[in-house]
Structure formats: structure tokens, C-alpha cells
């Protein structure tokens, strides 16, 4: 073959083709070819004359052979592809309370030499969603698109997932890892539920103790007050978790 990158396979040479016989061969081009290429596949041989014999057989005639060549044009038109680069490669939402939503931005950049058309972006994993990409959309070389990943847990526990982006880039499938954990709102309790000071003389004071406790998850107490001036609270500094 003439023209860089083209190769021929499937022909064992020299090969003799009798009348009506065929030979199949393969012309290949290296996948690393990044430029327009044209060339020719040239087959050189000799033509020998045959004369019909008995029962339709062909027998070689004594006439001299003639040189011949066959040229097959081949060409390749290079397609320049883009490449998608995600940032960040993974998103961790940390701990999010059940019923709340935490969002995080992410970016897709075309870092290749050709345009990229993004056709699909989906999120997998419990509580994860993706938004902000008007699909289908095309990114020219160097162009970026920013979108949002969100985590809205509905039950306590840890979660893993990913965003999958499909396009016609050289890396047709791009993924961004997602992770987060969910906690339920804490419950605050006091023990005892009520305090009875009994009979206290005028001008005297009486102290009783009570305990605050949190269950489920941490609770931050910012303040406390009494609805009567005869009662006061001490021994605790706010805020307290």
C-alpha cells in the first residue's frame, strides 16, 4: 500500500487465480491515524491466457504472459474528537439531615480538539440527583458547563452513587462519584419531666437538679428561660451541644 497507516492482510502471495476465482483480502488503517490520508493499494501480477478444454475445463495456453497491475484508491478523513474532563472527579456531601437537601457544583470541560455533544446525564444512588445541564448540549474546545449535584436523603445511613455522562467525546462515558451520609433530627429530653420544690419559706431558696439528654443525633441548645421570676436556671452555659 501507498499512504501511511494502511496495511493489507489476508493475501498469501504469490497467489494464482484461475478464471472465475476470487480472493478476499483486508485493508486496515491504524486507529492512531489523526490526519487525512490518501493512497493506493497496488497489485502487480501476470496475466496468462487460457483456452477452453474438454468438459468446460480451462487449460493453460502456450502464449506468453503479460505483466499487469491494479491500483485501488484508499483514503481516510480524520475526525477530531473532543474529550470531557469532569471536576471534581468525586463529590462528598458529608453528613446531611434527613429531609434536608445539600447541593454541590461540578464542571464538565471539553479538553479535546473537537466539539463534544453531551446527550445524557443521570444520577444513581439513593437520594442523589443532577440538574443544570440543558441536554443535548455541545461544548466547543476549551468550553465548560457547570451543573449541580444534590443529595436529599430520606432515611438515615450512608449512600454511594455516581453521575454518568454520555457524549460523542473520545471518552464517551464519564462518571463522577457521589457519597454522603444521612442522620435523623435529634430528640431532646429532660429528666425528670417536672420539678416539685415543695414548701419553701419566704426569703429562702431551694435548688433541684435536672438533666438534658439528646437521642438520635446531636442537639444544640441555644437558650433556656423560666416563665416566672421566682424560678431561675443555673449550672449550664449556652450554647451547649
For the full predicted model, state whether its pTM sits above 0.75.
Answer: no
Dist CA 106 CA 177 (whole Å): 11
Per-residue pLDDT in tens (0 to 9) along the chain, 241 residues: 555 678 888 988 888 887 788 989 998 876 555 667 788 888 888 776 655 555 555 554 444 556 778 888 888 776 778 999 999 999 999 999 899 999 999 999 999 999 999 999 999 999 999 999 999 999 999 999 999 999 999 998 999 999 999 999 999 999 999 999 998 877 888 899 898 888 888 888 888 899 988 887 778 888 888 888 888 888 888 898 8
CA distances from 182 to 103, 108, 154, 160, 236 (A): 14, 27, 8, 11, 30
CA distances from 163 to 42, 44, 122, 171 (A): 51, 56, 6, 15
Amino acid at each position: 500500500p501507498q499512504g501511511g497507516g494502511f496495511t493489507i492482510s489476508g493475501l498469501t502471495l504469490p497467489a494464482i487465480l484461475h478464471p472465475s476465482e476470487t480472493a478476499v483480502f483486508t485493508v486496515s488503517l491504524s486507529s492512531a491515524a489523526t490526519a487525512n490520508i490518501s493512497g493506493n493499494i497496488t497489485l502487480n501480477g501476470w496475466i496468462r491466457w487460457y483456452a477452453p478444454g474438454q468438459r468446460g475445463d480451462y487449460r493453460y495456453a502456450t502464449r506468453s504472459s503479460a505483466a499487469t497491475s491494479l491500483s485501488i484508491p484508499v483514503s481516510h478523513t480524520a475526525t477530531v474528537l473532543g474529550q470531557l474532563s469532569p471536576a471534581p472527579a468525586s463529590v462528598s456531601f458529608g453528613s446531611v439531615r434527613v429531609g434536608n437537601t445539600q447541593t454541590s457544583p461540578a464542571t464538565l470541560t471539553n479538553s479535546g480538539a473537537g466539539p463534544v455533544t453531551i446527550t445524557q446525564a443521570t444520577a444513581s444512588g439513593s437520594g442523589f440527583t443532577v440538574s443544570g445541564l440543558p441536554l443535548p448540549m455541545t461544548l466547543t474546545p476549551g468550553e465548560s458547563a457547570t451543573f449541580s449535584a444534590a443529595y436529599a436523603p430520606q432515611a438515615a445511613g450512608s449512600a454511594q452513587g455516581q453521575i454518568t455522562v454520555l457524549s460523542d467525546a473520545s471518552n464517551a462515558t464519564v462518571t463522577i462519584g457521589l457519597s454522603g451520609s444521612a442522620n435523623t433530627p435529634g430528640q431532646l429530653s429532660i429528666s425528670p419531666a417536672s420539678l416539685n420544690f415543695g414548701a419553701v419559706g419566704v426569703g429562702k431558696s431551694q435548688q433541684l437538679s435536672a438533666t438534658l439528654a439528646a437521642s438520635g443525633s446531636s442537639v444544640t441548645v441555644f437558650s433556656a428561660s423560666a416563665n416566672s421570676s421566682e424560678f431561675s436556671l443555673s449550672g449550664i452555659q449556652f450554647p451547649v451541644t
